[in-house]
Structure 1
Amino acid sequence: MTLLPLSDDAFLFPGAVNSLVFASDSGGALLVDTGLDESHARKLLRAVQDAGLTPSAVLNTHSHADHHGGNAFILKRFPELEIYAPPLEAAIIQHPVLEPLYLYGALPPKPLQSKFLLAPSSPARPLEAGTHTLGSVTLELLNVPGHAVQMFAVRRGGLLYAADALFGPDTLSKHPLTFCADSAQQKASAASLLHLEGVQLTVPGHGDATPDLAGLVRLNLDSLERTTQNVLNAVQAGAASTDTLLARVCTDLGIVMTNPGAVVLNRSVVSAHLKELLEAGRIEMTTEDNHLLFRAASA
């Protein structure tokens, strides 16, 4: 697989998770998101080297395993590389057990220690949003929290890598419960990208590049709002726990969860939308008979 040119100095390495490559004048390559595992990273590295470039730094937009799982392999080949990430995300990249720990609520059992939830550890330097030069490549990092607690979108000229602030239409169709840590922030971050001027091409973290940023934002906002309504409908069907609400939502959407990882990920999605509904005063949280329950707000 080869790098696909997006501009004179920017390239896409497509996959289940997209990686971006920004070339410097000196032949260096800033790698943005390294994929789920060694397989993705090995192919990415081969494509970079086939293009006559040498990795000069790595930027992880956030700490989900599918975006930094390839770091460890790349560091084996280039141990001097610096890895950058948002501050909280950098801590999780260095201590990846934090991801399944917060999803499960305790140290995770073996079924929740798969590569999809627990990437290999790699050192990461915390970085704030703004304009930075990383590996001799200057770009703008934009705060787009919501999908993860912290996350960067990457802007260079007319190119926007939205990371997981936006998803492509096929991904939204395949995964109607789009993962988020904070659904209200996810909506706000997606909407904030509409105000960017001069964006000619947008690449989501999952999906194809598109010149239609506004259309992609609207598609994502519609999907997120549908999920909020799905969760509200589940609550309005009767007071219930998060797990019962998750089952109701999955039944309504035709989702069949077949492994523990899917359950804890989708439970987090429901929990995020429950928080949004609580803060909007549309539902209430109560404790009854040693159960944490959610119910429709009193009139």
Structure 2
Amino acid sequence: MALQTLAPGLHFLPGAVNSVVIENGAGGALIVDTGLDESHARRLLREVSALGLTPAAVLNTHSHADHHGGNAFLLKRFPELDISAPPFEAAIVNHPLLEPLSLFGACPPPELRTKFLLAPASPARGIEPGRHTLGGAEIELLAVPGHATQMYAVRFGDVLYAADALFGPEALGKHPLTFCVDSAAQKASAAALGEMSGVRVTLPGHGEPTGDLAGLIAANLAAYARTTAAVQAALGEGGATVDELLRRVCGGLGVHMTNAGSVVLNRAVVSAHLTEGLAQGWARLRVEENALLFWPV
């Protein structure tokens, strides 16, 4: 699929994850999120070159492999390419083993070292939120933590690239347990985007562009609330480990996991909502018979 134009000088490449291309007016372009792998990055570079543009810099909105896995291919072609990311996320882009390591809690087995959880390393530098000029393109970075520990949405004029702070309806339906490391922050970040004015079109990290920012936010907040409700319902069946609660939640939401990656990702989601529950007072934690158990309050 070819690049689609969102505004003069601003394009995106649709895919399993969207990549954004921002022209700098001098024949170069800032690439925002490079996709999962070489295949996506190769297609991205072909489309960028067709516009007569050369990659001038890369911004990774966060460190999940599907957003920076294409960095390595672009670096082969452009070794001096500047890559930036939120500071915490930049550490993971530089040392990608941290992603499956954090999810598994120890040295990850081969089943958790696939390209979906372990991208090639690339030399990213940390960048703070605010207004920046990257690769000659002027943008505004907005902190939207929750899906990742740190994550940026990107504003360019009246266009907002929400990254994974917001998901399109199809993605929400496909993944009832929307990934997050901090569910309370995930909800707050989505709600905060609704306070923005002058946004004409919003592009989620996964999904189609829309002119209905308020509707997109409402759909995401409803999905996040359903996950919280599912965790609360599972907890109401009695104290249990995270793994048992995950089994209950998946049963309640009709989720069928078939690989190790989906298990550790969904386990993290349940853990995040349990942490929110501890803070809000509807869950409690204690150790019994050498097991870490969560109970309803």
Tell me the TM-score normalized by structure 2: 1.00
- Match of 2:63, SS state, is coil
* Post-superposition CA distance 1:176-224 (Å, at most 9, x none): 0000000000000000000101000000000000000000000000000
Instruction: Tell me what 1:281 maps to.
Output: 281
1: distance between equivalents of 2:273 and 2:254? 19
Instruction: Tell me what 1:26 maps to.
Output: 26
1:113-152 paired onto structure 2 within 5 Å: 113-152=113-152
Write out the 4+ residue segments of structure 1 that deviate beyond 6 Å after TM superposition: none
CA apart distance, 1:254: 1.0
CA apart distance, 1:143: 0.2
2: distance between equivalents of 1:124 and 1:145? 19
| Structure 1: runs of 5+ lacking an equivalent | none
CA apart distance, 1:27: 1.1
Q: Which amino acid aligns with 1:294?
A: F
Instruction: Tell me what 2:69 maps to.
Output: 69
2: distance between equivalents of 1:15 and 1:171? 12
2: distance between equivalents of 1:263 and 1:5? 37
Residue 272 (structure 1) aligned with residue 272 (structure 2): yes
* Post-superposition CA distance 1:89-135 (Å, at most 9, x none): 00000000000000000010111000000000000010000000000
* Post-superposition CA distance 1:63-103 (Å, at most 9, x none): 00000000000000011110000000000000000000000
2: distance between equivalents of 1:286 and 1:233? 19
Instruction: Tell me what 1:245 maps to.
Output: 245
CA apart distance, 1:283: 1.0
Number of aligned residue pairs: give it. Answer: 297
Instruction: Tell me what 1:290 maps to.
Output: 290
1: distance between equivalents of 2:238 and 2:218? 31
- Match of 1:252, SS state, is helix
Tell me the TM-score normalized by structure 1: 0.99
Instruction: Tell me what 2:262 maps to.
Output: 262
CA contact (8 A) 1:144 1:186 kept: yes
1: distance between equivalents of 2:173 and 2:107? 32
| Structure 2: runs of 5+ lacking an equivalent | none
Instruction: Tell me what 1:176 maps to.
Output: 176
CA contact (8 A) 1:27 1:52 kept: yes
Instruction: Tell me what 2:226 maps to.
Output: 226
CA contact (8 A) 1:144 1:151 kept: yes
1: distance between equivalents of 2:24 and 2:121? 27
Instruction: Tell me what 2:204 maps to.
Output: 204
- Match of 1:181, SS state, is coil
Instruction: Tell me what 2:99 maps to.
Output: 99
- Match of 2:7, SS state, is coil
2: distance between equivalents of 1:181 and 1:296? 21
Instruction: Tell me what 1:84 maps to.
Output: 84
